[in-house]
Structure 1
Amino acid sequence: MESKQEKSMSIVMVPYLAHGHVSPFYEFAKKLSNKGFHIYFCSTPICLEPIRNNNNHFDNHQIKLIDLQLPSSFHQQLPPHYHSTKNLPHHLMNTLLAAFDASKPAFSDILKTLRPELVIYDGFQPWAAEAARELNIEAVLFITGVQSQKIPKVTECNKEQMDCFFKNSVNGMTPIQRFLKCVTSSSGHMVLIKSSTEIQAKFGKPEDVFGDVVPVGPLVQRPLDHDGDEKIMDWLNKKEASSVVFVSFGSENFLSQEEIEEMAHGLELSNVDFIWVVRFEGEINNVKKTIHEALPQGFLERIQIQGKGLIIDWAPQVKILAHTSSGGFVSHCGWNSTLEAMMYGVPIIAIPLQFDQPLNANLVVDMGVAIEVPARREKKITRQEVAKAIKTVVVEEQGKEVRRRAKEWSENWKKKEDEEFHVAVEKLLQLVQQSKK
């Protein structure tokens, strides 16, 4: 039974300005609103635009979208369409983070107006917890990736990652310093994490700096209808159960030209039906021409004649993974994509590209729901390894156990996700109630 406190409590949520953070924060917001909480979802207009454009958002009147304006002093370098990491030129990443830091006064004004009882913030903005504390509002960190509970060691990082984690300083803080400050600023030593108790047990004990690590479940969205889905779903509906491999590397990860060619040849060699989301860094317009140029000569014509493949530049990922025809997922192993595959029982062909993705790939391989294309660890993809991995997971007898484990995890999660979320909700309620005493 829901308490009166549960029905009246208001929360401001403020994710980092990346789709991989906004998306799980919004799924978390939807689940909290379904429990009776009043949610104010705060981000830049460009980050909120996809939510506003999605008619399903307006089915939930408990969530109010709040525009956070980055300071106008940054607009010449960073116009509003760049107030998100998506399509942001790499050299402006630090500028975006500096502008986000400088939005603390605007965020404080939002808190003064709304007067919520709780702020849920992300791991890159310790200023959000500071702004809340200055107004005597509790603030709790929400971690969107399970690997974040392990502080990376220099020996575990390649040079690119080492520079990012330990050397790339903005406003006097490296990413590691920002993250640790966010952890230690979280009220009640509580840290929420997008994970499950089973994964936490598999992954092991978090670092000592973490207090009470509370899983909120996988927070995987349910399949929704979008404009333009019909062609994709009609194509899938004609395929046999568990016969199609879905290939996607997320919205902010990109294969090199050589890797695109090897992936294309690997898909053909596998002889498995496929849907492949092909994206290019910084590419917004004229995508069709670019795809023709990037793919091997004659590839598009062959797969079209054979009906073996579908090349697209955007996909309703969850809807595809939930479809009965999906039998494998070639993925970079971003945490959101990994959990979506596990929730819908689709085994993973792991090709991690950067940051936490190799660690995520190790985890799901260890859990028995994935195999990894090994050559990518040497910074290359080979068509032979791609074809072998796809055939193993989708078709061959030796992949039977991976397919079985993926289905088993899916069934277990669907039974337990509400229980885990209920525990997290109760802990949040207790935190706020105790603060009022």
Structure 2
Amino acid sequence: MLPWLAHGHIYPYLELAKKLTTKRNFHIFICSTPVNLSSIKPKLSQKYSHCIEFVELHLPHDDLPELPPHYHTTNGLPPHLMSTLKRAFDMSSNNFSNILKTLSPDLLIYDFLQPWAPSLAPLQNFPSIEFITMGAAFTSFSIQHLKNPSFKFPFPSIYLQDYEAKKFNNVLESSANGIKDGDRVQQCSARSCNIILVKTSREIEEKYIDYLSDLMGKKIVPVGTLVQEPMDQKVDEETWIMKWMNKMERSSVVYVCFGSEYFLSKEQIEEIAHGLELRKVSFIWVIRFSKEEKNTRVEEVLPEGFLQRVGEKGVIMEGWAPQAKILQHSSVGGFVSHCGWNSVLESIKFGGPIIAMPMHLDQPINARLVEEVGVGVEVKRTGEGSLQREEVAKVIRDVVVEKIGEGVRKKALKIRDNMNKKEDEEIDGVVEELMQVCTGRESK
């Protein structure tokens, strides 16, 4: 397995590996940079040690002194170095080829930005399959835009505002090594053998899965949510945040978190803070700062006197929080989320309603899907994309306090139950497809 160098991609690959090894006698190697592997090694329990191994991929850094090994990941990477990271990843193809020769695998599962990876597989006589860690709605929207930008997307609930469309086009047009990201995406899909794995479920994205299959001319195989189960349950229950939540009424707490790789501006933080304060709700808010802002104090970015005014009703957690444990807790009534795909699926998995506040990349499309499916409500913005405290407060009220929230919660719980029932069936389908691909190779 070769995921892209982002935490939001590596973790789904790890979860898929764990699911596969519990179903069949697969032996799986997960290949990534040392800095990325160091973050996921603690997430792998001893019971998988005989069937899942980590393999270090070293990117060239002598030729790229501006990208030392601790930057061989998107986590904490300064934005201006993103194209350099892609270039370094491309330049590691020889190292990866040598790894493949040493391991001699039966199959390569790869991600969406490295078309050079599937090109190596036929040279060593084994097949390769793409595994996309984003949703089918966003992926089909992107592929259709790349193939025919003038053609209107056939599902009207999925769209981009003008300010979002500009950012979206900039992402597809961005390039490294002379290759646009949009071209990388298409080449990776084209080079996958007759199937493509997607991290999703038919329970929420059936029509988008089918449309994506039509666009790509390949079978799309949903692998399920791949949500990581909370670890160290006994330890978590003893932590102060769990004790604080245990004191709260059912469905009364708002959990606010924007993922590990997006950092809010001071203006965004202020609008969210005022929105929380206007509604007088209890909340847990995870605030992260970039490496360049690591010395920033939370008090410096929050409205003056905010912490004193909210008192014990609000908890600010810097850097990290046990998200899965928090979302599972009965006191949580809403999740203010950037709608990263992993966070969306995690919230649905635990039956929680989403207060959607998308920021960039696939998040606006995911937010529209959340509303369409009925598991959340999006915070509307100005024409320029700015947040407004009154709108933040209104949506929090609608989801946590008003009757609309009751309907969203019921729908979220129903979908959760249906997805949980289908989980084993989906992984069984993945195993069957992978075995057919590997068997087909042996019979040639």
- Assess same fold via TM > 0.5: yes
1:359-387 per-residue CA deviation (whole Å, 9 max, x = no partner) reads 11111101111101012664111111111
Distance 1:342 1:376, change over 3 A: farther
Unaligned runs of 5+ in 2: 151-159
Pairing of 1:24-35 with structure 2 (within 5 A): 24-35=12-23
Q: Distance in 2 between matches of 1:377 and 1:240?
A: 37
The yes-or-no answer on 1:225 pairing with 2:216 is no
Moved more, 338-347 or 368-377: 368-377
- Confirm whether residue 16 of structure 1 aligns to residue 26 of structure 2: no
Which of 346, 351, 356 in structure 2 is aligned with 1:350? 356
Output the amino acid matched with 2:12. P
Q: 1:311-346 deviations in whole A, cap 9, x for unaligned?
A: 432112111111222111101111100000001000
Match of 1:276 in 2: 285
Aligned to 1:258: 267
Do the aligned residues in 2 keep the contact of 1:183 with 1:210 (CA within 8 Å)?
A: no
Q: 1:249 aligns with which of 252, 255, 258?
A: 258
CA contact (8 A) 2:59 2:92 kept: yes
Paired amino acid for 1:24: P
Q: What are the ranges of 5 or more consecutive residues in structure 1 without an aligned counterpart?
A: 1-12
| Residue 400 of structure 1 pairs with residue 388 of structure 2 | no
What pairs with 1:156-171 in structure 2 (closer than 5 Å)? 158-166=165-173, 168-171=174-177
* 2:347 alignment partner in structure 1: 341
* Cα distance in structure 2, aligned partners of 1:376 and 1:120: 41
Partner-residue secondary structure (3-state), 2:67: coil
Describe the superposition over 1:42-68 as per-residue Cα deviations: whole angstroms up to 9, x where unpaired.
Answer: 1001111112244x4333111111100
Query: How far, CA to CA, are the matches of 2:252 and 2:77 in structure 1?
Result: 36
TM-score (norm 2): 0.90
Residue 240 of structure 1, CA deviation:
1.9
CA contact (8 A) 1:74 1:99 kept: no
| Residue identity opposite 2:310 in structure 1 | I
Question: Which residue pairs with 2:195 in the alignment?
Answer: 190
Report the AA paired with residue 114 of structure 2. Q
- Helix, strand or coil: the match of 1:41? strand
Deviations 1:271-318 (A, max 9, x none): 22111011223346335x2x11000111122333x3333443211211
1:199 maps to amino acid:
I
Q: Is contact 2:171–2:361 with CA below 8 Å preserved after alignment?
A: no
1:375 has 2:381 as partner: yes
Structure 1 length-normalised TM: 0.91
Separation of aligned partners in 2, 1:217 and 1:292:
40
- Please give the root-mean-square deviation of Cα atoms over the aligned residues, in Å: 1.9
The answer on 1:58 being equivalent to 2:46 is: yes
Secondary structure (helix, strand or coil) at the match of 2:211 reads coil
Letter in 2 for 1:118: L
Q: Tell me whether 57-66 or 197-206 shows the greater mean CA deviation.
A: 197-206
Deviations 1:130-171 (A, max 9, x none): 1122101111000001112332535756323212202x2222
- Aligned counterparts of 1:416 and 1:350: Cα–Cα separation in 2: 25
CA distance in 1, matches of 2:404, 2:215: 40
Q: Equivalent residue of 1:148, what SS? A: helix
1:351/1:376 contact within 8 Å kept: no
Please give the secondary structure, in 1, of the residue aligned with 2:73: coil
Matching residue's letter, 2:140 = Q
Cα distance between partner residues in 2 of 1:164 and 1:352? 16
What's 1:4 paired with? none
Q: For residue 98 of structure 2, what is the aligned residue in structure 1?
A: 109
Change (3 A) 1:78 1:241: same
Poorly superposed stretches of 4+, deviation over 6 Å: 226-229
Q: Which residue pairs with 1:179 in the alignment?
A: 185
- 1:380/1:170 CA distance change after superposition, 3 Å: same
Q: Counterpart of 1:241 in 2: which secondary structure?
A: coil
**Structure 2 CA distance for partners of 1:137 and 1:98, relative to 1, 3 Å:** same
Look up the match of 1:212. 219
Per the alignment, residue 80 of structure 2 pairs with: 91
For 2:76, give the aligned amino acid: N
